[in-house]
């Protein structure tokens, strides 16, 4: 499977030449702030399958001392991907073109979800990040 996507202004594009895995809705306060929303939706992949196809020089990574990071477009501010020690490891599902071939399978960090948001689906809920399988 090949997955493509881009930022809001269309200057940054990527391709993932493989399947997405382990998709979730993250409710941690950091992802909420990064996305300006009640939660973020990410899917993982094999890092070797990922490539920026245009606009890579416009991508900036905000990385914490833990190594966790968020990649965003310097022009429009779109959050594009998640990183771990500078390696792109997940994609913000809202940036995917078309059908990503999967849907989020769980909610994570629900203990720090926004007070004003109620989860109304039947997906499993976890207090931390857990891998599927």
| The pLDDT value given to residue 133 | 45
Place of tokens 């989860």: 119
pLDDT, mean of residues 103-107: 96
- Extended strands (E) in the chain: 3-6, 13-16, 21-26, 40-44, 50-54, 59-63, 68-73, 79-84, 87-92, 107-108
CA distance 95 to 72: 11
Whether the per-residue pLDDT at 129 is higher than 90: the answer is no
CA atoms in the 13 A half-sphere facing the CB of 25: 23
Whether the per-residue pLDDT at 132 is higher than 70: the answer is no
Q: Which CATH number fits domain 3-112: 3.30.365.10, 2.170.150.70, 1.10.10.60, 3.90.1420.10?
A: 2.170.150.70
Confidence band of 125 (pLDDT split at 50, 70, 90): very high
| Residue 32 host element (H or E) | helix 29-35
Residues forming beta bridges with residue 79, ordered by sequence position: 72
Among candidates 97, 116, 120, 95, which has minimal Cα distance to 107? Answer: 120
Edge-to-edge strand list for the sheet holding 68-73:
59-63, 68-73, 79-84, 87-92, 40-44, 21-26, 107-108
| The pLDDT value given to residue 128 | 86
Residues contacting 40, CB < 8 A, separation 6+: 25, 26, 31, 32, 34, 79, 92
């Amino acid at each position: 499977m090949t997955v493509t996507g881009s930022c809001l202004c269309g200057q940054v594009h990527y391709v993932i030449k493989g399947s997405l895995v382990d998709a979730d809705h993250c409710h941690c306060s950091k992802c909420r702030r990064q996305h300006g929303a009640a939660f973020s939706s990410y899917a993982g992949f094999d890092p070797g399958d990922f490539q920026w196809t245009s606009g890579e020089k416009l991508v900036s990574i905000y990385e914490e001392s833990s190594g966790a990071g968020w990649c965003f477009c310097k022009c429009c501010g779109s959050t594009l991907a998640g990183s771990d020690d500078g390696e792109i490891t997940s994609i913000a599902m809202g940036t995917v073109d078309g059908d990503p071939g999967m849907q989020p399978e769980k909610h994570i960090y629900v203990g720090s979800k926004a007070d004003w948001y109620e989860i109304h689906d039947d997906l499993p809920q976890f207090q931390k990040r857990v891998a599927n399988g």
